[in-house]
Structure 1
Amino acid sequence: MADAVADDLAGDLAGDLVVRAERVLVDGAWRAASVHVRDGVVVAIGSLDAVAASPGGPDVTLPADQVLMPGVVDSHVHVNEPGRTEWEGFASATRAAAAGGVTTIVDMPLNSVPPTTTVAALQLKRASAAPQSVVDVGFWGGAVPGNLGTGDLRALHDAGVFGFKAFLSPSGVDEFPHLSTEQLHAAARELAAFDGLLIVHAEDPGELDAAAAGLPEGPAGGAVYDDFVRSRPEVVETTAIEHVVEALRETGGRAHVLHLSSARALDTIRAAKAEGLRLTVETCPHYLTFDAGSIADGATQFKCCPPIRDEANRELLWAALVDGTIDVVASDHSPSTRELKFAGDGDFGLAWGGIAGLELSFRAVWSGARARGVPLERVLGWMSSGTADLVGLGDGSGASPAKGRIAVGAAADLVAFAPEEPFTVDVTALAHRNPVSAFDGAELVGLVAATWVGGVLVTDAAPPARLLTRP
């Protein structure tokens, strides 16, 4: 790609859209450049003042306080449509994504009804998403007891899902049951036969039961946040991750640990990677932003599973991102209605667990990184190129041009971003469907000034974006 980028590019450059900025992220470094787009793809990257061959198209020069960056690829989003569209839908979710600089989402197989555990259910999802989505959308499949050994996993793989989500403990919805440890190994064996990716909600039910036995009101009951955290101690995650590692060791397959909250699991992860096992790991903006000591009792907008832990744990997660133990960051946008999120009037045992933060995910992580002296390009490595690579969209080998980077031949998924602009989150101004979020009132930095998906500026009149399949 670098050979096609010329600082001294002379003459006319082809393109339907040109975006110019004093700081454009190219090959991991910021430089003054013009990015030229035709038919949704970057066709040239030239000097800041390079002349376009198609002067009739949009030619945008960003102000000095804005950078041009690749769109964020959010690989962990619960859209919930069809079936629970009152929680979230493709129209609202993808507009929230674009408002936050996210140009691609990969939708989780639950909490929609039906879940994406068969090709027929995938077809329903795609039919729902196609006319409504203003950012590109891909889909995960689900691995549940009922579709192991039936041929459904391979059929979903062939139909283009990016991998298969499994829960090792109850998911919270009856139509998506969890796998036992034995079934986890069976799923890993089945997926290894065609190199499918297993993505895992790693909490161990036996350890959850043991923790619940020590609480007077049962699992996560009551309004005391510390009791909720004690109901899901770190051993719940570490034990489940050890089971995943054992399955990889047996099968040689691939697995990705979702939403890591426990720093105590990092040694197990480092050892597995050192062993050569094909394990990747994500954490989420809420684990990097909040800490248990700052969460008030009864504040169920902060409830998620696994839970937000203490400040020292949070800083260890940041360190693990910086040293590469944790590979990527994704939102785990898991919204619900206000009634469900605040069910029980502050009772953590009754409220729905999940953080709504798709529109804020990138800016929350950037705010935390900036405060710790971590540069913006590292954040984009975790949330744009890293997540694109995780799902196989990073090299352009499939039907979609490469995502997660600004390069010749890559998708023209671009974001104009003012990284030093402060703002206070107002949940009523966010685009996702229900005005509930743990980030309400947070002081963050970063303004998304414009988002282009495939070279098209996302506006209320933007046409539907693409549905993606696994390369």
Structure 2
Amino acid sequence: MTFTLRSRQVYLPDGPRPATVTVHDGRIAAVDAFDGPYDEDLGDLVLLPGLVDTHVHVNEPGRTEWEGFATATRAAAAGGVTTIVDMPLNSLPPTTTVAALREKQAAATGQCYVDVGFWGGAVPGNAGDLPALHDAGVFGFKSFLVDSGVPEFPPLDRAGLAAAFAAVDALFVVHAEDPARLRDATPSRAYADFLASRPPEAEVSAVGTALAVAAAADARVHVLHLSAADALPLLRRAAADGVRVTAETCPHYLTLDALAVPDGATEFKCCPPIRDPANQDGLWAGLADGTISIVVSDHSPSTPQLKRRDTGDFAAAWGGIASLQLGLSAVWSAAQDRGFTLADVVRWMARGPADLVGLRRKGRITPGADADLVAFAPDESYVVEAAALHHRHPVTPYAGTELRGVVHRTWLRGVPVGDTPHGTFLRREDGR
């Protein structure tokens, strides 16, 4: 199948310009002048590459009542995300062996509206399983330095992290909080009480540990969901010293304000936590100078019951933000207010995450790339209605928020995403 689209703003690797994009058999065959032949003119809509979200908790199998592949990937497509990489927990079993990976892939078969890759998990005692998992195509290995919240995915200590790094030459993605720097969270409806239990120094300490172990092993390490801007100097210094380190942050850390969280609003709880506006300014500065290279969702939903919406107790509630469908609009709204461009957002949310995991045919509009495309109206606004989201549960801190930027259509490998799932599984070698 061959067709052409044109837009007055096609977001290409070197920036936006008027262009006509030819798609042939699921790939981008050519990018030509705007005034060439075309099949469809997008009018005032801009054409973006499909976003790549490398931090998504789908939870199936085992905890599909929290979220599943059908609902998660449909939400992704509605938000302009055409590729996700699924985290190795909170599914049962966790993706810590090849057998568990195959079980997860079997559960996902026939349900995916976007393309899906998988992370493996590094937990105490499974260093010997990591090479086979890597050969099976996972994009790297997730580990926690603090309690993960589920007993089947325990954290690594410093020695365990070193053992995992030594087991395989792979990308390691780390949840960096130091349990020794955390404080007991007492039952409370006040967000400030929960926030005090997970101070910035817990992140700073754990980031320092991960960087030191990575430097000693010459390992490649990626710091997940950075919330504490105080850790940025450590990351800058380590990169200057030659440590192979990258870092990400998430839409909620860039857009939501700890000082404005209502009492009992446990939909705002995540770990590490949403912090104050001054800290948020620091994260945006980290994006501006490249210390933070990508923005991904950390979509980590649960049932409303586990969010303890009945009591509003932050200490007891599950820590996770549901935002997979909303990330593009949330980040674009805030970025525009701060003087960033849509090209910056595309770099942070499409090409950057694709490059992190080596998917060179994703996250860009260029000949040879997969025709993962998004027709987007950057100046249109909407108010988030939680019940209208495709996530399994209508629980999100963005409910009632006015956001800018509306996804009008999404193509996956040249086919409009509709009622029939046609996503495929991705391996680490794909697109290299």
TM-score by length of 2: 0.98
- 1:187 is matched with 164
- 1:4 is matched with none
**Deviation at 1:344?**
5.9
Aligned residue pairs total: 429
- 1:34 is matched with 20
Separation of aligned partners in 1, 2:83 and 2:377: 20
Instruction: State the SS of the aligned residue for 1:42.
Output: strand
Answering whether residue 85 of structure 2 is matched by residue 106 of structure 1, we say yes
Separation of aligned partners in 1, 2:231 and 2:359: 28
**Deviation at 1:343?**
5.2
Separation of aligned partners in 2, 1:220 and 1:451: 44
Aligned partner (choices 405, 413, 419) of residue 372 of structure 2: 413
Answering whether residue 177 of structure 2 is matched by residue 200 of structure 1, we say no
Aligned partner (choices 376, 389, 395) of residue 430 of structure 1: 389
**Deviation at 1:146?**
2.7
Q: Which amino acid aligns with 2:422?
A: P
1:67-93 Cα offsets, whole Å, 9 max, x none, are 001000000000000010011000000
- 2:76 is matched with 97
Separation of aligned partners in 1, 2:345 and 2:49: 11
Separation of aligned partners in 2, 1:160 and 1:300: 36
Instruction: State the SS of the aligned residue for 1:341.
Output: coil
- Where in structure 1 are there 5+ consecutive unaligned residues? 1-14, 53-58, 213-218, 395-401
Alignment of 1:67-466 (within 5 A): 67-148=46-127, 150=128, 152-191=129-168, 195-208=169-182, 211-212=183-184, 219-342=185-308, 345-394=311-360, 402-461=361-420, 463-466=421-424
Separation of aligned partners in 1, 2:117 and 2:201: 33
TM-score by length of 1: 0.90
Q: Which amino acid aligns with 2:130?
A: L
Separation of aligned partners in 2, 1:281 and 1:46: 35
Instruction: State the SS of the aligned residue for 2:85.
Output: strand
Instruction: State the SS of the aligned residue for 1:146.
Output: coil
What fraction of aligned residue pairs are identical, expressed as a percent? 57
**Which aligned runs of 4 or more in structure 1 are off by greater than 3 angstroms?**
none
Separation of aligned partners in 1, 2:91 and 2:144: 15
Q: Which amino acid aligns with 2:427?
A: T
Answering whether residue 421 of structure 2 is matched by residue 468 of structure 1, we say no
**Deviation at 1:428?**
0.5
Which structure would you say has the larger Rg?
1
Separation of aligned partners in 2, 1:83 and 1:253: 32
Separation of aligned partners in 2, 1:438 and 1:113: 27
Query: Contact 1:344–1:350 at 8 Å: present in 2 too?
Result: no
- Where in structure 2 are there 5+ consecutive unaligned residues? none
Instruction: State the SS of the aligned residue for 2:259.
Output: helix
Q: Which amino acid aligns with 1:160?
A: G
Separation of aligned partners in 2, 1:413 and 1:269: 32
Query: Contact 1:341–1:353 at 8 Å: present in 2 too?
Result: yes
Separation of aligned partners in 1, 2:202 and 2:354: 29
Query: Contact 1:261–1:307 at 8 Å: present in 2 too?
Result: yes
Separation of aligned partners in 2, 1:104 and 1:245: 28
**Deviation at 1:296?**
1.4
**Deviation at 1:186?**
1.4
**Deviation at 1:348?**
0.9
Aligned partner (choices 24, 32, 43) of residue 63 of structure 1: 43
